Amino acid sequence: MMERQDVQSSNISSVGYNKECQILEIEFYSGGIYQYDSVPLNIYESFMVADSKGKYFFGHIKKLYRFRKIR
């Protein structure tokens, strides 16, 4: 299990990132946890400082990276 940190968002509960594998893990308040593959460090860093995590996720991550639901 990847270590995640809580974030301020109405949809996203917590976010984790594995720099070596470039895997971004996102837990949603709905209960789902997803891993996104081949996400560059700069995308993760921009995501974490974005004013709106949801807007950044939908605009820069959701449809651009392969993902799998892990829960």
DSSP state, residue 62: T
Q: How far is CA 33 from CA 2, 16, in A?
A: 11, 11
Please, what is the average pLDDT of the chain?
Answer: 97
Residue pair 6/38 in contact (Cβ under 8 Å)? The answer is no
Q: Total structural domains in the chain?
A: 1
Predicted pLDDT of residue 17: 98
pLDDT digits (tens, 9 = 90+) for 43-55: 999 999 999 999 9
Distance CA 50, CA 44 (A): 10
Which residue range(s) make up the domain with 10?
5-69
